[in-house]
Structure 1
Amino acid sequence: MNVRHHILPAALTSLLAFALYALMKPQAGAVSLNAADVYVVDGDTIRLGAESIRLSGYNTPEIRSAACDSERAAGTRAKDHLRELINSAGDLRLILKLKRDGTPAEDKFRRHIGQLLLNNQDIATIMIEAELAEPYSGGARRTWCD
């Protein structure tokens, strides 16, 4: 009997088991939140105490650095909507994006990056479907002014 015929299936089985474990393990960095502890900075950023969290998967118009009045108004609508959603959520969880070393990932402004789930639904999807945001995964952002 050839040893290679036994090693390859065992290696593939081990690889498959590891992949299934990685897919099924609890998401690292997940924490339950109390709405009263969440400060909404703008439509895609929250603060928990002193920590700012950039919510992943979407981008909203700016408020403080808006390029025009219509962008500022749209940004305010997005912020208000996010605040209402958080305050009315029965289940509120944050999943922090982690670096390989297990520490929280940060954006260029040193904000942590996280996915916010409201009643097990991604806030990015909710904000995009409400037409208050656009999908975003990094890189150049579009202008919100005509």
Structure 2
Amino acid sequence: MRNGLIFLFVMVSSALAGEVPPPAHDGDTFYVAPAADTPFCSRLRWGRWESIRILGIDAPEMHGRCELENRLARVARERLRELLGSGQLVLDRRGCDRYERTLARVSVGGHDIAEVMISEGLARPYSGGRRRSWCGR
């Protein structure tokens, strides 16, 4: 609860200042405020944010199975935050997943985010099915 309130405070104060990119949950999921006419997959997170899952990648989970995965997840999330703040965000919505996230191809400043994350070793290609472990790479 406390972490949620801190997150909400930081996001609201940053949004008011107009200086923060969309919040990232981890290396392959982030949130955007949807336009009024944009269909989306789920209820809004925290009453405001649409959850976007980047198509084509698997990134380490924030609450992973080992300390290595947890560290990699923090690095991937920070890099995604940097990328999201580096230019104009373009979403190509492709559907919904079972967790009610919008599946989308994502680019910023003309760069495909999935390709960048994979090339930097912060994500792996993913097209469905069982994901490989990040522990003991």
Q: Same fold (TM over 0.5)?
A: yes
Cα contact 1:74–1:132 (8 A) shared by 2: yes
User: By how many angstroms is 1:87 displaced?
Assistant: 1.3
Cα contact 1:59–1:135 (8 A) shared by 2: yes
Structure 1 stretches of 4+ moved >4 Å: none
Cα contact 1:95–1:114 (8 A) shared by 2: yes
Q: Give the TM-score of the pair, scaled to structure 1.
A: 0.67
Amino acid of the structure 1 residue aligned with 2:82: E
User: By how many angstroms is 1:110 displaced?
Assistant: 1.1
Answer yes or no: is 1:134 the counterpart of 2:134. no
Amino acid of the structure 1 residue aligned with 2:130: A
Cα contact 1:55–1:114 (8 A) shared by 2: yes
Equivalent residue, structure 2, for 1:121? 111
Of the candidates 82, 85, 88, which is equivalent to residue 87 of structure 1?
85
- Structure with higher Rg: it is 1
Pairing 1:90-105 to 2, within 5 Å after superposition: 91-97=88-94, 105=95
Structure 1 unaligned segments of length 5 or more: list them: 1-33, 98-104
1:87 and 1:110 map into 2 onto residues whose CA distance is 24
Of the candidates 22, 29, 43, which is equivalent to residue 38 of structure 1?
22
Number of residue pairs matched by the alignment: 104
User: By how many angstroms is 1:36 displaced?
Assistant: 3.5
1:51-90 CA-partner distances (Å, limit 9, x unpaired): 11111011100012x000000000110000010111122x
Equivalent residue, structure 2, for 1:56? 55
2:114 and 2:108 map into 1 onto residues whose CA distance is 10
Which range moved further: 69-78 or 49-58? 49-58
Cα contact 2:57–2:114 (8 A) shared by 1: yes
Structure 2 unaligned segments of length 5 or more: list them: 1-17, 33-47
SS at match of 1:75: helix
User: By how many angstroms is 1:35 displaced?
Assistant: 7.6
Of the candidates 129, 133, 137, which is equivalent to residue 143 of structure 1?
133
Cα contact 2:27–2:73 (8 A) shared by 1: yes
1:35/1:43 Cα in 2 relative to 1: closer, same or farther (>3 Å)? Answer: farther
1:59 and 1:52 map into 2 onto residues whose CA distance is 16
Tell me the C-alpha RMSD between the 2 structures. 1.6
1:70-122 CA-partner distances (Å, limit 9, x unpaired): 00000110000010111122x2211111xxxxxxx211111110111011121
